[in-house]
A = this chain, B = another copy of it.
């Protein structure tokens, strides 16, 4: 508690990883949970893919530079980060599109059951996609049931086909127990679909060990793939023989270049491809993932918790910040890699921080999120954020009228 940020940074074994990131000098970036920063590796890879591959080798790059297998290769790089043995992860489309594929498939794997169980405060797209599926196939075949996180286990009745849950809640930063909830779902005869958007790349995940069924995750948050880089999908090998997803585009075909008239799905997780993938965005993610090969995930988790603990402990000890209500669990085992605080003037606070170079984000209606990415954030970053918060509350800058208008993206 009393150790200084500088001293903690000096003994941080992950500190050298920051050199892999092209972060601007004048900002403290605490928003990697929204968009991870540019890496040296991505910049180099994008230059190469654009100039040498697309530019010089043109169409032949699909074979010569292995573009055709890139979704699979990137999936295999993500696999060890989420505790998946090979052959179960594919990098493809967006989380929204992948949820549609997996929810459709999950309902088919549990005939006679029609409920998708989710929490009422989960990331909206997860519910929106389930609503879209219900509107398409009918409420008798697809029913949404939203309950509080604490009621999930009790809500697992015999109609639940699939429990869908973001492992780390985007608002609160709460980390749910993959092991306990997967076991509870299985005991009730349901499948589990984990959304790893706020956990992949930030903490160790054990999909296989928990016997999780299905998962999706994001390429552009803690994996640093770049804005809107493709998402990923995980299908446990136990389901691969039976699973079938309905967005059957040509690249999910067993032999796409036979151009045969009828669809036959590729084996395993490869059938989750649909159309042609955005190669440049995908190559950026591919390159950004390489740094994880040198990272021990237990050390990553240890640093993540040390950063959030440092921030939370000091936040609560500053008298002028007592109106900031911490939403993130104090219990380290229930905490992701962000700290969320609630305040009626959260919007003004977030904007005053950003103006001072402390990049955080706001989530309606009243949350400021401080994302700590253990690969590049330091204890000095956390200290700078705390110092600026105190300065804001002393000056009242967050109440400035210029912070009344919210732009399109918050």
Instruction: List A residues 352-410 near B (Cβ within 8 Å).
Output: 354, 359, 361, 363-364, 406-410
B22 lies within 8 A of A97 (CB): no
The CA of A55 and the CA of B361, in the complex, are separated in Å by 17
Contact B280 A227 (CB under 8 A): yes
Q: Is the CB of B55 within 8 A of A35?
A: no
Within 8 Å of chain B (Cβ to Cβ): is A16? Answer: no
A83 CB-CB contact with B under 8 Å: no
Find out whether the CB atom of B68 lies under 8 angstroms from the CB atom of A408: yes
How many copies are assembled? Answer: 2
Chain B residues with Cβ under 8 A from A124's Cβ?
A: 250, 253, 256, 259-261, 263
Q: Which of A54, A68, A69, A408 has the most CB of B within 10 A?
A: A54
A59 lies within 8 A of chain B by Cβ: yes
Query: Of A7-15, A126-134, A235-243, A332-340, which stretch is located at the interface?
Result: A126-134
Q: Which residue of B lies closest to A21 (CB)?
A: B55
Contact A135 B97 (CB under 8 A): no
Given that A34-B59, A67-B227 are contacting pairs, would A409 and B257 also be in contact in the complex, using a CB cutoff of 8 Å?
Answer: yes
Judge whether B262 and A131 touch: CB under 8 Å.
Answer: yes
Asked if A258 is at the interface of the complex by the 8 Å CB criterion, the answer is: yes
A345 within 8 Å of B (CB atoms): no
Q: Are A280 and B96 in contact (CB under 8 A)?
A: no
> Are B94 and A246 touching (Cβ within 8 A)?
no
Q: Are A228 and B127 in contact (CB under 8 A)?
A: no
Distance, CA A131 to CA B363, complexed state (A): 40
Chain B residues with CB below 8 A from A104, complex form: 136
A46 touches B46 (CB 8 A): yes
Known: A34-B59, A125-B249, A227-B61. A275 touches B95 (CB 8 A): yes
Determine whether the beta carbon of A128 is less than 8 Å from that of B249: yes
Q: Is A230 an interface residue (CB 8 A)?
A: yes
Choose among B100, B128, B278, B361 the residue that contacts A263 (Cβ–Cβ < 8 A).
B128
Q: Are A129 and B249 in contact (CB under 8 A)?
A: yes
**Cβ-closest 8 pairs across A and B:** A94-B275, A96-B249, A132-B248, A278-B281, A96-B275, A227-B279, A125-B250, A278-B278
Instruction: Using CB atoms and an 8 Å cutoff, list the residues of chain A in contact with chain B.
Output: 22, 24, 27, 29, 31, 34-35, 37-38, 42-43, 46-47, 50-51, 54-56, 58-63, 67-69, 93-97, 100, 104, 120, 123-125, 127-129, 131-133, 135-137, 146, 220, 226-231, 244-253, 256-263, 274-282, 284, 354, 359, 361, 363-364, 406-410
